[in-house]
Structure 1
């Protein structure tokens, strides 16, 4: 197999990021035919189909392997240029792609990366995904690191604990008076707010406290801050991160449904097992912010 050229690798990255050959051509300032020829040459070189010609394009399993390699080459090149310039800017912002769950993104994660973005001239590309599904992005090569609920490292990655994100089941006083006056026994009949169809925090709490799944109306609110606001407006009960409900519980705008039974979700940081000062700096910033804001896993 012939080695991939830097032009070929950058073309594959651009194609996956923008989704079509035409958009990749505009991004790279070449023709769509040139983009197609480069991808075809890569496929002929390795003897595998790398890209499915759909709209938008999709990677094959082999394509995911090559994309991951392309992103690693890009990162190593940026690290090398920074070292040659004694840590200064390499002439342009270095793209760092990360996957993070919506609740972390809405509460503590942005505080972790805000400082290093300017200090190291990094352009972050954040992929919002459920903490149980961020690994698929890491495995495909779409991201370099991810906040995940799995402590088992995927191939080529290392894992370190971040802490526990604590959630509390809450509702407004008026909602409790209307729907839950007999107690949690009627919780399965009360309207509930969920993030999306993959969000099982409310169902897990319901099974633990009421002993059966709910059959009440389910409001889907697919944004963390809007989810919290929907609960605060009385649309339904929900399980919120502490950072989004402790103040409201304290001032009486929300009522905790089972104070002795919070829901804890362990979070881990998985990243490429690659020696990179830039990725190391990002990982350190995430770890330090998690230490300040999350509960320890061992407590």
Structure 2
């Protein structure tokens, strides 16, 4: 049997990255935290924490961390189901992983009413849409928005809609970098805008069509959806934007769609554990019913602009 106090100490160190911070969280001394973690490591026969600054978990510690975080989520759901509230303030906590573009565009407006009516407090984790389901698998969230079509064991996955992405740039950028056309050589010199190293939407298209890897051309990493749009609007680079963020900028000439054959439909799916709290069920109902309508509205706005 795992000792709850030892596990609590380990979890605090793993999540804060420090024995001192863990001690503050648990209102204990750092030496008491150290002793409990050492006892847990001795019991399990594995080193769990690498004593560095910040501390990091080993592969064995990672397995234990995922187990404990998943158990904590299940406990929170059980308490919510039995007591009706997660804390004295009367709000329910729901942990969701989402991609940044959904968060910056349609997600919060879609959930607005259910969050208010049901007194739900969202705890969001943001990652690339191809990676968010790993957070669910690790037990770090109750549900996620992902491009993964198939549900893992113990979960359900349902399609909630698609986002249309287009390759765009400002007129000034095109005049400067693509005056002689868009081809392999011009792309080797024109700066691109990419969300982060996990974002393969742009890089895969350039690789497939022109045989250029990211190492072959200059690019900005802008890991913020709103700043990503601003970077392109400032003429610092070209990149893939969803219709929701393009809006009517094509109509008014602020942006120009380049390489229209690169238009991409990104299918999004809602993943959640089979066992849901009542509040997560309500969020699921709203997303399944309304998310695709929000995305379709943005598509319609783009087409009629």
Q: Same fold (TM over 0.5)?
A: yes
**Number of residue-to-residue matches in the alignment:** 292
Cα deviation, residue 120, structure 1: 4.4
Provide the C-alpha distance between the structure 1 equivalents of 2:55 and 2:275, rounded to a whole number of angstroms: 28
Cα deviation, residue 155, structure 1: 4.7
Matched with 2:258 is: 257
Matched with 2:206 is: 206
Cα deviation, residue 94, structure 1: 4.9
CA contact (8 A) 1:162 1:294 kept: no
TM-score by length of 2: 0.79
Provide the C-alpha distance between the structure 2 equivalents of 1:139 and 1:229, rounded to a whole number of angstroms: 33
**1:219–1:17: structure 2 CA closer, same or farther, 3 Å change rule?**
same
Q: How does 1:144-293 map to 2 (within 5 A)?
A: 144-185=142-183, 187-188=186-187, 189-207=189-207, 209=209, 211-213=210-212, 215-293=216-294
CA shift digits 1:135-165 (9 cap, x unpaired): 4433333333332222243454433323322
What residue ranges of structure 1 are gaps of 5+ in the alignment? none
Cα deviation, residue 229, structure 1: 0.9
Q: Alpha carbon RMSD of aligned pairs, Å?
A: 3.1
* Structure 2 counterpart SS, 1:247: coil
Cα deviation, residue 131, structure 1: 1.8
CA contact (8 A) 2:136 2:144 kept: yes
TM-score by length of 1: 0.80
Cα deviation, residue 193, structure 1: 1.7
Cα deviation, residue 262, structure 1: 0.9
Provide the C-alpha distance between the structure 2 equivalents of 1:106 and 1:228, rounded to a whole number of angstroms: 11
Provide the C-alpha distance between the structure 1 equivalents of 2:116 and 2:39, rounded to a whole number of angstroms: 38
What residue ranges of structure 2 are gaps of 5+ in the alignment? 297-305
Q: How does 1:66-145 map to 2 (within 5 A)?
A: 66-85=64-83, 87-88=84-85, 90-92=87-89, 93-145=91-143
